[in-house]
A and B are shown apart, each in its own frame.
Chain A
Amino acid sequence: MVGREKKNLRQSRRDFIKAGLAGTAALTFSHASGAEIGTFQFGLTPVFLSNDLELLGHLRTYLSSKLGGPVELVTRRTYQEITALLVSGRIHSAWICGYPYVQYKAELDLVATPVWHGKPLYQSYLIAAAGRSVDGWTELNGDVHAFSDPDSNSGFLVTRTLLAKNKLPPEFFFSRSFFTYGHRNVVRAVASGLAQSGSVDGYVYEVMRETEPDLIKQTEIVRRSEWLGFPPVASPKTLAGDARVKALQQALVSMNGDPEGQKVLDLLRLDGFQATDPSLFDTIEAEVQIVRQFG
């Protein structure tokens, strides 16, 4: 099933490149031309709570003040769309996932990585409906499974790697699977019964435990993954010399020293950002290798 999803995805990816660049990305071109006259474009993946307009407002205000010019926050439905914009240099920087980062490591520079609970690390959770009393992840065999995004580390790659390590093709382990294109949506899908289990970002899940406790109560964690590099902020290597990228890095790293920046961090439940070494994502890169080897 996942294979079919992937096929569909590839299909849609091609569609995206063919028609999307003419249509959706045409919009971005206008933004890109806007970038030339000074607007800094910062992409956001649905990795976190993209529906929080208050957060977006504070983030834009903070970044605009620190970068000394207008900042546009670019959001898209899928990781892939943002990754494509970033890799092609159509946006200046983006908060992406670790998985696309390792995939396009050659084209991207790390700007900063969020710090959560003191470390730039997070986990992936396998969740199921509350009260199901699952003893181990293997009991999820035969479920309808909800993934977050095919380009998400915690919402897809981690679970695929787990199955690959155990020599279990996902299309046989799960009876069916589908993508929700959002970690919050995975929680909703599992809570509503649309899916019996799901792969979700542990950070998002823990934040939701505070913001939407009723929704979280309807689910339970079956498995926590090892600690992995937190989804980082990256920029295209082509903009390595851009002063504003440097300014962005400074703004992110010093965010916890600024009242407006602290508001953003409070809303995100993050401690701050720090400049990290690309080796932080080696674990994820290894996972990608395992999955590739397994086929």
Chain B
Amino acid sequence: MSATRRFRSIPVTFRVPAMVALLMVVISAAISERVLDRLSKTQESSLNGLAETYLDGLSSAVLPAVLRGDVWEVYDALDRSSSSYAALSPVETVVTGSDGRILAATDPNRMATFSRLQDSYLNRFGPGIVTIDEAALTGFSKRELVYQGQPIGAIHATFDVSHLFAERREILVTLLVTNSVLAVLFSLGGFVIVRQMIAPMRILENHMRSATHGAAEPISPNQIPEGDSEVAGLFRGYNTLVHAERERANFAMQLAEEEKLSSLGRLASGMAHEINNPLGGLFNALDTLKTHGETPGVRDTSISLIERGLAGIRDVVEAALATYRPERSHRPLSADDLDDVRLLLKPELRRKQQRLDWNIVWNELRELPIKGGPVRQAVLNLLLNASTVTPEGGALSLKADSSGSYLSIEIGDQGPGIPAEIAGILIDSDPGPAVRAGRGLGLWMVRRVVDDLGGSATIAVKKDGGAAVTLTIPFEGESIKANAA
């Protein structure tokens, strides 16, 4: 398994030639085996045929002489035949009579006439036409001489078969050399072809690699091969993708900007309203002071009114500052942060005549070990979204609980629920696809905050309709522990 994986890790430019070479080796092994098997069978049948012919010819030549026990005639026939069957390479031929004694042999010095053949010699002749002793490179063939149904003797012939094995060896070497050369040529050819085929893919790969680092560049037109329609189509497709991605990114940026401006506008108008409301009272109090300033009771009351009015304005301004001044975002979260959010939301709620149910269970600490700024932004965004989807006169809810080792904030609305593709931005492990759809950018900001703080978000449908978004944010010490775990 690991070998397969290791093989797959080899670049395709080397893997394909290696496979071609391997295939060639397998094919050549199979072919060689077949060729040699066939050759061996052909050689065997050819040798059998030659031996049969030799023995046939010799039988008819020596039969009358064997019948007469004519030593010289038998020898003369053997002597003459030895030069007539060069293709068979007879080494030695021995003719025996009916008594099993040698009548004549091609080499009478080795096989004396009238002597008996030894068993060790006879045992080398098998039942087949030609028995081959591969070690001795010799073939053995025997023919009984029969006259009128009676055995009158036998011919024992031995042949030199070394040329058969030499031929087999030669063919094997030829096959090996040819196949090796072919394997090398095919591998080289494979390497070159695959390299050429892969070259455009490499261009694509380089572009994609740089795209993962944030700079998706289209492939330049002069790199698009005209002849190769498939690659050209692929490159053009990639370029189209890059252009579309760029447009989408621009569009998303634009949307985010617009949304930011829109929420800023809403907040700004809310704030203006919040400042404007006490301003009327303040001016009234100033008029009262101008007119009846000498009256101690009236003066004190007016000053108190002005003081309270200005304090209200200060609170709103401070809340805005705390929310949008980044240097303050690292401050630990306190209950005041949530109160600031309520304050910032008040104008919007009033505008839509909505109610906010506020239920906070704070633990004994004044400040929680969680960055305050991001949480304020996230909660404000969620509440603004909740307000947007909740009909006029409806109710929003915020429940916060920090009694455990984490902070849980649930924001409820009375809207139609959050569509699945937008909900994905908050709850999917990979929010990419939903974000790329270019919607719910406010939620994307919330998601980033939650991710940065190591928390999580869930969305539930409330019993009375509407959605409830719950953010669970661990305390910083806990989150480190949790991560470590």
A residues in contact (CB < 8 Å) with B = 8, 12, 144, 146, 175-176, 178-181, 185, 188-189, 192-195
Q: Does B104 contact A (CB under 8 A)?
A: yes
Q: Is A194 within 8 A of B113, CB to CB?
A: yes
- A254 to B75: give the CA distance in the assembly, Å: 41
Q: List 25 A-B contacts (CB under 8 A).
A: A8-B68, A12-B68, A144-B113, A146-B72, A175-B114, A176-B113, A176-B114, A178-B70, A178-B72, A179-B72, A181-B72, A185-B72, A185-B76, A188-B79, A189-B72, A189-B75, A193-B107, A193-B108, A193-B109, A194-B71, A194-B72, A194-B75, A194-B108, A194-B113, A195-B108
- CA–CA, A146 and B108, complex, Å: 13
Complex Cα spacing A175 to B70, Å? 16
Within 8 A of A (CB), among B54-71: 68-71
Q: Which residues of the other chain, B, contact A176 by a CB distance below 8 angstroms?
A: 113-114
Residues in chain B near residue A181, CB distance under 8 A: 72
Report chain A residues within 8 Å CB of B75.
189, 192, 194
7 more contacts with CB within 8 A, not counting A8-B68, A176-B114, are: A8-B69, A178-B71, A189-B72, A189-B75, A193-B109, A193-B112, A195-B108
Q: Is the interface of A mostly helix, strand, loop or mixed?
A: mixed
- Chain A residues near B104 (CB-CB < 8 A): 194
Q: Which residue of B lies closest to A181 (CB)?
A: B72
Q: Report which B residues bind A (CB closer than 8 A).
A: 68-72, 75-76, 79, 104, 107-109, 112-114
Q: Considering only CB atoms, which chain B residue lies closest to A179 in the complex?
A: B72
Bound complex: CA A227 to CA B69 (Å): 34
Residue of chain B at shortest CB distance from A148: B72
| Identity of the chain A residue whose Cβ is nearest the Cβ of B75 in the assembled complex | A194
Q: In the complex, A188 Cα to B77 Cα: how many Å?
A: 13
Residues from chain B with Cβ under 8 Å of A175 in the complex: 114
For the complex, what is the distance from the CA of A80 to the CA of B440, rounded to whole Å?
133
Contacts of A146 in B (CB 8 A): 72
Please report the C-alpha to C-alpha distance between residue A25 and residue B235 in the assembled complex, in whole angstroms: 104
Counting chain A CB atoms within 10 Å of each CB, which of B68, B72, B112, B114 scores highest?
A: B72
How many angstroms between the C-alpha atoms of A178 and B70 in the bound complex?
Answer: 7
Report the nearest B residue to A186, measured CB to CB: B72
* Contact indicator B68/A144 (Cβ below 8 Å): no
B61 to chain A, nearest CB (A): 15
Cβ-defined contact, B114 with A144, below 8 A: yes
Cα A174 to Cα B107 in complex, Å, equals 21
Closest to B114 in A: A176
Beta-carbon contact of B108 and A192 below 8 Å: yes
Closest 10 CB pairs of A and B: A193-B109, A193-B108, A180-B72, A178-B71, A194-B108, A194-B75, A176-B114, A192-B108, A144-B113, A194-B113
Q: Give the docked Cα–Cα distance between A179 and B107 (Å).
A: 19
Q: Which residue of A lies closest to B115 (CB)?
A: A144
CB neighbours (8 Å) of B79 from chain A are 188, 192
Neighbouring B residues of A144 by C-beta, 8 Å: 112-114
Q: Roughly how many angstroms separate A8 CA and B76 CA in the complex, as a whole number?
A: 20
The winner among A180, A181, A194 for most chain B CB atoms within 10 A is A194
Docked complex Cα distance between A182 and B271 (Å): 147
Most buried by A among B68, B75, B107: B75
A-side contacts of B76, CB under 8 Å: 185
Task: Point out the residues of chain B lying under 8 angstroms from A8, CB to CB.
Answer: 68-69
CB distance from A14 to the nearest CB of B (A): 14
* Highest count of chain B CB atoms <10 Å: which of A8, A176, A181, A189: A189
Minimum Cβ distance to chain A for residue B114 (Å): 5
The interface residues of chain A lying within 8 Å CB-to-CB of B112 are 144, 193
Closest chain B CB from A176 CB (angstroms): 5
Within the complex, the shortest CB–CB distance from B187 to chain A, in Å, comes to 60
Residues of the B chain whose Cβ atoms lie less than 8 Å from the Cβ of A179: 70, 72
